Amino acid sequence: MTTVLSLPPVIGHRGAASHAPENSLAGFDKAAALGARWVEFDVMLSADGVPVVHHDHDLARTGGRPERVGELPWAELSRVEVGASFDPAFAGERLPSLEQVVARLGALGLGANVEIKPAPGREAETAHAALAVLAARWPGHLPPPLISSFAPLALAAAAEAAPALPRGYLAERLPEDWAEAVAGFGCASVHLGWKALDAAAAAAVKAAGYLLAVWTVNDPSTALRCRGWGADAIITDVPDRILAAFAEAGSAVP
């Protein structure tokens, strides 16, 4: 049986990506300090199959290096500096493994939306490796992690590897065949980009009985509009701003 899913109104995107290096331990610390109760982050594999937390398939933007994440073993990736490109104050921040991130979330008390972000051809492998770490290391005092992916093969593999964990269907916009796809993957939530979202799409998701998460919303008025359409969670780089807007409008939920 799939775990019943409950989402907070605000989820920190890649930690708190406007305030600290994305997908970094410092970023998760910052998200918690800003009041986020959950964070979203990306998982891919090193060359030797270690799940690591990083968004881009290459290291150019975050680490100033030309290599792709999947080309390097964990021993090398663990030395990649990902903080200085955001701000010199974060110099020395290293690319983390999923195991390191899970330990930090446990210490911070943060729930998580874990996005499987596989390199082409490694969809099932990435999902199985990530779910193995979550099964072995996920803190019992945290709500079960929500697994999402743009990659259908990864989402299917996650359903196979950990059927009890909730899954989220991730898309930029709601496709015509969305209901069949969401049901086929046994998802509990639908995650849509705010730019293509309208009231009708939000209503369709909610009427079908799914939770709705909207990404990546950094404008408070947009967040309030999405909440008005029924969005259960707003995924944002600025959790502090969105939480403040919800509090002022009286639209936050426990």
Distance CA 44, CA 63 (A): 16
Tokens read off for 102: 């899970």
Active site residue 141: no
User: From the candidates 13, 19, 54, 128, which is the catalytic residue?
Assistant: 13
Residue listed under structure tokens 């593999």: 157
- Nearest one of 187, 185, 244, 254 to 218, comparing CA atoms: 244
Active site residue 13: yes
- Nearest one of 131, 76, 138 to 104, comparing CA atoms: 138
Distance CA 206, CA 126 (A): 30
User: From the candidates 19, 54, 55, 128, which is the catalytic residue?
Assistant: 55
- Nearest one of 75, 51, 72 to 161, comparing CA atoms: 51
Residues 145, 173 contacting (CB under 8 angstroms): no
Please name the amino acid found at residue 126.
Answer: T
Distance CA 132, CA 149 (A): 16
Alpha helices in 44-173 (DSSP H): 60-63, 74-77, 98-108, 123-137, 152-161
- Nearest one of 191, 152, 151 to 168, comparing CA atoms: 191
Q: Which sequence positions are flagged as catalytic?
A: 13, 55
